[in-house]
């Protein structure tokens, strides 16, 4: 029997985005553009490619622009139409009525708490989570990260997280898995630890911003105290589910950019601009000139 389909995705977007201040004082981090699309658009496109229908944004103060982005901008469209401008650039921002849902996290108490805020909308079905500041870019002709995860989920069911390998000295900034048996891109997860000291890290495989979780995680989060950094951590809740349900990691075949950090954001902008047919050659020339 194939597992229940993944129809809903939660996008926690209530964080403060302090690393990008002052840019994120008024503009949410998730609306900062990489070339010409805001970060949140890349994540929603990836969700749609994976067959996900309902987009649940966990927003906070000052974040309503994210929901607006997926609404119809009537005056803009009207004016563009009158001027004979092409409206197709707005196509990805169109949502099926009723399929964009916003819930509020009043105080940013941590990623785990943000996910828990979506419990009533998620209900009793498995769901996906996207951290939009992790930009996952498919290989040319390949499928996106969540599509790869959904394909794996259809084989093994249960819970899945996407992972990637980083140099050991970097693991302390991330959630890290204790790996079990591996087969191809799939690795059994035996344990999870948030931001471990290098000497205590069980591997160099870090959790990278995409999850498929069973609804029981909401009940675990319900009773969860604060963890690393004084925040209610999703990693701690997932760690408690290991052993009670299947838990696997999928190593993404593609590129990941950490757009939560400034250098990662610049890297993503450059990489995506260089890959664009309409501007890649020009950007390459600019980069070469700047590098002397």
Q: What whole-number distance in Å separates Cα of residue 72 and Cα of residue 146?
A: 26
Q: Does residue number 12 form part of the binding site for ligand UTP (CB under 6 A)? A: yes
Q: Does residue number 18 form part of the binding site for ligand UTP (CB under 6 A)? A: yes
Q: Does residue number 109 form part of the binding site for ligand UTP (CB under 6 A)? A: yes
Residues within window 44-103 making contact with ligand UTP, judged by CB under 6 A: 58
Q: What whole-number distance in Å separates Cα of residue 204 and Cα of residue 251?
A: 12
Tell me how far CA of residue 35 lies from CA of 196, 224, 270, in angstroms: 34, 39, 8
Residue 110: count other Cβ atoms within 10 Å of its Cβ.
24
For ligand UTP, what does the binding mask look like between residues 181 and 210, x meaning CB under 6 A?
------------------------------
* CB-count exposure of residue 34 (10 Å: 0-12, 13-18, 19+): buried
In angstroms, give the least distance from the CB of 261 to ligand UTP: 8
Residues within window 247-286 making contact with ligand UTP, judged by CB under 6 A: 260
**Closest by alpha carbon to 168, among 205, 204, 207?**
204
In terms of phi and psi (left: phi > 0; alpha: psi -120 to 50; beta: otherwise), the region of 95 is beta
**Nearer to ligand UTP (CB atom), residue 46 or residue 133:** 133
* CB-count exposure of residue 285 (10 Å: 0-12, 13-18, 19+): exposed
**Nearer to ligand UTP (CB atom), residue 213 or residue 273:** 213
Q: Does residue number 108 form part of the binding site for ligand UTP (CB under 6 A)? A: yes
Q: Does residue number 114 form part of the binding site for ligand UTP (CB under 6 A)? A: yes
Owner of token pair 């969540």? 146
In angstroms, give the least distance from the CB of 63 to ligand UTP: 8
Region near ligand UTP per CB under 6 A, out of 13-21, 151-159, 194-202, 276-284: 13-21
Residues within window 115-174 making contact with ligand UTP, judged by CB under 6 A: 131-133
Residues near ligand UTP (CB under 6 A)? 12-19, 29, 58, 105, 108-111, 113-114, 131-133, 260
């Amino acid at each position: 029997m194939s597992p229940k389909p993944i129809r809903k995705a939660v996008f926690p977007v209530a964080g403060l985005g302090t690393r990008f201040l002052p840019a994120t004082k008024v503009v949410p981090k998730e609306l900062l553009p990489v070339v010409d699309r805001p970060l949140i658009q890349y994540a929603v496109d990836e969700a749609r490619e994976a067959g996900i229908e309902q987009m649940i944004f966990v927003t906070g103060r000052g974040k309503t622009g994210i929901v607006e982005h997926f609404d119809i901008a009537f005056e803009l469209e009207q004016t563009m139409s009158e001027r004979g401008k092409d409206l197709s650039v707005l196509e990805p921002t169109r949502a099926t009525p009723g399929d964009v849902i916003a819930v509020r996290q009043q105080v940013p108490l941590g990623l785990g708490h943000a996910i828990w805020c979506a419990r009533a909308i998620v209900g009793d079905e498995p769901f996906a989570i996207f951290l939009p500041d992790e930009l996952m870019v498919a290989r040319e002709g390949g499928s996106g990260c969540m599509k790869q995860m959904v394909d794996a989920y259809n084989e093994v069911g249960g819970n899945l997280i996407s992972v990637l390998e980083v140099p050991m000295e970097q693991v302390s900034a991330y959630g890290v898995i204790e790996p079990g048996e591996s087969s191809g891109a799939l690795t059994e997860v035996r344990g999870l630890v948030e931001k471990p000291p290098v000497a205590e890290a069980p591997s160099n495989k870090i959790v990278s911003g995409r999850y498929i979780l069973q609804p029981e995680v909401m009940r675990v989060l319900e009773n969860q105290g604060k963890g690393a950094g004084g925040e209610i951590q999703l990693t701690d809740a997932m760690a408690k589910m290991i052993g009670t349900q299947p838990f696997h990691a999928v190593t993404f075949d593609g590129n990941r950019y950490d757009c939560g950090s400034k250098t990662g954001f610049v890297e993503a902008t450059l990489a995506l601009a260089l890959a664009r047919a309409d501007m890649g050659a020009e950007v390459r020339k600019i980069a070469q000139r700047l590098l002397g």
